[in-house]
Structure 1
Amino acid sequence: MSQDTEVDMKEVELNEMEPEKQPMTGSPGTLGEKNGMVKVPKEDGEADAGTKFTGLSKEELLQVAGTPGWVRTRWALLILFWLGWLGMLAGAIVIIVQAPRCKELPPQEWWHKGGIYRIQALEAFQDSNGDGIGDLAGVEQRIDYLSSLKVKGLVIGPIHINTPDNLTSTDLQTVDPRLGTKETVAKLLEAAKKKSLKVILDLTPNYRGQMSWFSPETPPNSDFQSKMKAALKFWLELGVAGIQMEGVEQLNDSQLLGEWKNLTSQYSSDGNARVLIAWTGQQDSRQIFSLLNETSADLLVSPYLLRLELEPTGQKVENAIRAYIQAAGEKWPSWTVGGPRRHMASLVKERLLRLYHMLLFTLPGTPFTNYGDEIGLQEPPGQSGVSRMQWNNSANFGFSSKFFPQGGDSSGRNFTVEAQSGNSSSLLSLFRHLSELRGKERSLLHGEFMMLPRLVQDVCVYLRSWDQNKRFLVVLNFAGTRSTVTISHSLLPPEATVELSTDPQRQGGQLALKDLTLESSEGLLLHFPYVA
């Protein structure tokens, strides 16, 4: 290869190299040029085309900006800016002034915000150790299930040692060994706390005896009163969220409940209020709320709805609800069907079971239900004793590893928790949906209640509303046949949306309130938006 060729190849390699890597081989005559770069001479006229535009100088710009035309333009733009800003400010003020104000929320404690689930026949709920007796550890084992019911609290017990009708050998601070220990109670309280569930303890002293308070002479006795106060302090300090007492109408001195209420208040704190619940067998609404005023209890529960017939008409249900709410006045009501150890399915017609659940969870007040009501559990027909909870379709329904004859329906029908959990049309699914709505919708939490005109005897209709929140219209058909009703009111739209129906065959969507048809024993929960 010739010397000239080698030089040309080196120049090509240098040109292809990155500028920062090219060697410093330039000659003094190429000062200011990058080494190895080839300078290509420009064609004629290229220099003129590449001339840069320098614009006006600062002095020239100031001279132009000071001309009368530009001064007037700047002032016009400035005035328009401030006028626009003031216009937007005025518009915002008008909107704020004319917009409807949000209603102040009423003060509510946790027991106002959802249902209470009673496990008072503790020995029938869940056996944890195979001795055939339900216990406190069994309740803890089922805490996930209890949480899925969306209730706010559980009432358990009584669990203390009680020799029937014997005050001396009754120990209000010691757990019946068949049910557990103090440590078992503490573990249950901790497990419930993790699930945001409150645990209320029934402390009715003589729960195994003939009379809740032993005898009429017992409550005034100072030794008995001291014993009760010590027991209340013991359990409240352990961490229970409240105390329940049964048979309060048997107390000759209602001042006692007032003193016990003061104790629960003393143990209350922000976010951890303690409740005092009183249970009475009274069914007259005036006597019930007269008793509530005397006792100062937070909640007074009664079998008031049992005064209705086995198959009541919508008119009778409406009248009973009106009387109860009127008697309540400013007091917070509570609702239940049955007693602490009676199941709803044994007290109402089977076709009305779903309807009563919808009634309990949509009325103003706190709904109380018994364990098993959510699956339609009944008392054993023709047998004494309580019904054991039916968890699954095993030989003893999952209640205990110990085998024994189970009362009730053992024919494989869908009465167990396991069978109903995966079925969206089951009673259990309806219960969960109602309970969830009751705990989160403001119109159901603390909304106004209005009974609407009823044109059909067997249909009960009422409205729940709160401020600017979603409204709920409840339509309950207590007839055993299909009913058609026209619902008309100035507060109602012509159509409403189906939120929930007790009839599994009912499709969702919009329903016209004129000539609304309900199936036999169907309850409808409809909703519609607030319109200013």
Structure 2
Amino acid sequence: MATEMESASDMNDAGTQLLEEEKRPTVLPLETAKKAKPAGAEQEDGATEKLVSNEKINSNKDASEVKFLSADSQNGDAKIDIENLKLAFTGMTKEELMKFANDPFWIRLRWLLFVLFWLLWVAMLAGAIAIIVMAPKCAPPAPLKWWEEGPLYEIYVRSYKDGGVDQDGIGDLKGVTSEVKYVDELDSTGIILSSILKSDNQDPDAVESFTEVDPIYGSLEDFKELLSAVKNRSLHLVLNFIPNHTSKKHPWFIASENGSDIYSDYYVWAPSKGQNDDGEIPPNNWVSVNGGSAWEWSSKRGMFYLHQFDKDEPDLNMRNPKVVAEIKKVLQFWLELGVSGFQLEKVEFLLEDEELKNETPLPVPSDATHLDWDFYTHLHTTNLPGIVDILTQWKEVITSYGDDRILMVKGNASKNALHQYAKNNGTDLVDLVQPTETFTLLKEGFTADDLNDIVKKVLDSSNTGNTGRPVWQLSGGHSERIATRVSREAVDGLTMLVMLLPGTPITLYGDELAIEGASNVSMPWNNSSQTGSSQAPSAGDTGSISFDTIASSQLTDRSHLNLYKDLVKQRESPSIMYGSCDTSVINGTVFVMTRIKSGNPGILVAFNPSSNNVTVNLNSIDNISEELTVQLQSSNFVHDTVRLKSKIDTDEVPLPAKAALVLSFVPKLTS
């Protein structure tokens, strides 16, 4: 028995030695080991099965493995060992780790990987930035100039306010200065000041000096104070004057009529064609705007001088470079004082045909005679090509004082000539062209179609590049005010259009109150002192002043004045500043305008100029939504259910007679 145990012990020792030498024990699953059991090893089975059974019982122990230790080559006996193994990872020692950490190769490799990582990261960042910067995107709209952003406020000084100590009833510079705050509260961006140049009091267009203030309005110091007040409120001041002619009392004309060598050619002179029973015969058939011959005989010089307006307003000779240079000096004088630009009138008359050719009668017969302005085509006395060259020289002087200086032209300057200049030079010669005939053509009883025709004509002309930015004005020139021409009830609807159409609105002082009368009617500041300029026509004569004084309008929620202020704020909408514009007439009675800029609420103006109450369906309007929000109402808008900020259905919009609404909506843009 001892021998057998020794023999078994020897075999186990041999198996253990073999296992250590090979370092890789042969490990077989239990089932495989059973199959590989040598013949005659039944004696071991019991022990093995018992161990397997124990393994099953002790389920919380590690997995069992079978180690094939040795085999008896003679009798095929084999010994197996089943043990519990704990799976664990045996890492390197600290010494081994430090060996690799300090190895120069691994140090270099780590630094290389570190540098490559950050280079890759920076490259990815640079690529992302490049994609963002270089990717095509919608160009932002060009920033607007001050004369494009807000309305301009046009003041006729003589009728605005008397600010003098003597209170003579004549508006003056001190009066304007005292109410700069009021203009600022209207959110205007600039003031257009009527000519304050020294002139014949009976004829303010007959300028006696281009660089002096007429004493009736104050002094040059008063003008400087006005400029200071304007600039303190971040406003701009534009000065109006007529460069076409002077007064007969101007030193230039006096010297020219006397035959002075320096000034002899400052005006347009021509010899007589002979004599008849009426005296000297004029050089040609030209007539003045006021009617009658455009030539006046000067016995002192023995020649005719040209006057396309009054005989006391001789035309300057703009073909003489010295005269053009004189006007440059005038511009520089006022720019040095601080004005922001000029509104020049009657520039279409600056040049005449050098050969003094006769004018051709209009082909269509009219009631006019050969002594009337309307009888001729005026191809030889208006809008001659050289006018653009003169304006170019003056514009260069103006812009030399800064890009925020403006050149305006009021009148009927050649649109084609200005368009050609813009086409050739890539910029507008005139910043704002203020035509004399737009809304001034409207009379009482006008229709939605009449309104649409005027708006489309101006917009179409602007879109073809003929006039640059559109200019809108309800009252101006020498016509009656809009409230007199079309009725006070229709003023709010028209004001909505002027403020919200593309372009620059110009408000003649008092139109924000819907005052009536002539264009030079006095401003109604309060009830106790109704005009402030008693020598000018009074708004009180029309019966309107008792309602729309400045004082009363500011206290009334539904007043023309407060609606005007709300409309100016509405102009801040991107759809108004930069959006597209479409107009149409619904059911022959309602004028509709929409302004849309992608990504912003759309704005719609609906105006019923008829004398009937209507309800209209606006679903036919492009990009319109099913629901509209009421933003503003005309002061005469009365309806039981429609209120500010209320919602109304697009297919059922109520509009009382001569009333209007400003509505907002979410545009349904089509691809």
Query: Aligned ranges for residues 105-254 of structure 1 at < 5 Å?
Result: 105-119=141-155, 121-129=156-164, 130-163=167-200, 170-205=208-243, 206=245, 214-216=313-315, 218-252=317-351, 253-254=386-387
CA contact (8 A) 2:624 2:667 kept: no
Instruction: Give the 3-state SS of the residue equivalent to 2:603 in structure 1.
Output: strand
Query: Aligned ranges for residues 325-474 of structure 1 at < 5 Å?
Result: 325-329=459-463, 330=465, 331-340=468-477, 342=479, 343-379=481-517, 386-394=520-528, 396-397=529-530, 399=532, 408-409=541-542, 413-438=546-571, 440-452=572-584, 454-474=585-605
Asked whether 1:491 is paired with 2:614, we answer no
For residues 574 and 501 of structure 2, the distance between their equivalents in structure 1, rounded to whole angstroms, comes to: 13
CA contact (8 A) 1:292 1:300 kept: no
Query: Aligned ranges for residues 258-337 of structure 1 at < 5 Å?
Result: 258-269=392-403, 273-280=404-411, 282=412, 289-290=415-416, 292-293=418-419, 296-302=429-435, 303-329=437-463, 330=465, 331-337=468-474
TM-score w.r.t. the length of structure 2 is 0.58
For residues 154 and 450 of structure 1, the distance between their equivalents in structure 2, rounded to whole angstroms, comes to: 30
Aligned to 2:99: none
Q: Which has the larger radius of gyration?
A: 2
Instruction: Give the 3-state SS of the residue equivalent to 2:142 in structure 1.
Output: coil
* Alignment RMSD: 3.3
Q: For residue 341 of structure 1, report the CA deviation from its aligned partner.
A: 5.0
Cα 1:294–1:377 shift into 2, 3 Å: farther
Q: For residue 249 of structure 1, report the CA deviation from its aligned partner.
A: 2.2
Q: For residue 166 of structure 1, report the CA deviation from its aligned partner.
A: 11
Aligned to 1:33: none
For residues 437 and 219 of structure 1, the distance between their equivalents in structure 2, rounded to whole angstroms, comes to: 44
Asked whether 1:510 is paired with 2:636, we answer no
Instruction: Give the 3-state SS of the residue equivalent to 2:607 in structure 1.
Output: strand
CA contact (8 A) 1:338 1:347 kept: no
Query: Aligned ranges for residues 19-38 of structure 1 at < 5 Å?
Result: none
Instruction: Give the 3-state SS of the residue equivalent to 2:394 in structure 1.
Output: helix
Q: For residue 275 of structure 1, report the CA deviation from its aligned partner.
A: 0.7
TM-score w.r.t. the length of structure 1 is 0.73
Q: Which has the higher contact order (CA 8 A, sep 6+)?
A: 1
Aligned to 2:56: none
Q: Which amino acid aligns with 1:483?
A: V
Of 333-342 and 235-244, the range deviating more from structure 2: 333-342
For residues 175 and 340 of structure 1, the distance between their equivalents in structure 2, rounded to whole angstroms, comes to: 22
Q: For residue 357 of structure 1, report the CA deviation from its aligned partner.
A: 0.7
For residues 351 and 466 of structure 1, the distance between their equivalents in structure 2, rounded to whole angstroms, comes to: 31
CA contact (8 A) 1:312 1:478 kept: yes
For residues 203 and 609 of structure 2, the distance between their equivalents in structure 1, rounded to whole angstroms, comes to: 43
Cα 1:403–1:260 shift into 2, 3 Å: closer
Count of residue correspondences? 426
Q: Percent identity, aligned pairs only? A: 28
For residues 473 and 414 of structure 2, the distance between their equivalents in structure 1, rounded to whole angstroms, comes to: 14
CA contact (8 A) 2:524 2:539 kept: no
For residues 540 and 600 of structure 2, the distance between their equivalents in structure 1, rounded to whole angstroms, comes to: 46
Aligned to 1:520: 657
CA contact (8 A) 1:463 1:471 kept: yes
Q: For residue 400 of structure 1, report the CA deviation from its aligned partner.
A: 5.5
Q: For residue 430 of structure 1, report the CA deviation from its aligned partner.
A: 0.9
Cα 1:166–1:195 shift into 2, 3 Å: closer
CA contact (8 A) 2:343 2:409 kept: yes
CA contact (8 A) 2:624 2:666 kept: no
Q: Which amino acid aligns with 2:643?
A: Q
Instruction: Give the 3-state SS of the residue equivalent to 2:604 in structure 1.
Output: strand
For residues 652 and 206 of structure 2, the distance between their equivalents in structure 1, rounded to whole angstroms, comes to: 66
For residues 516 and 156 of structure 1, the distance between their equivalents in structure 2, rounded to whole angstroms, comes to: 41
Q: Which runs of 5+ in 1 are unaligned?
A: 1-65, 69-88
Cα 1:220–1:193 shift into 2, 3 Å: same
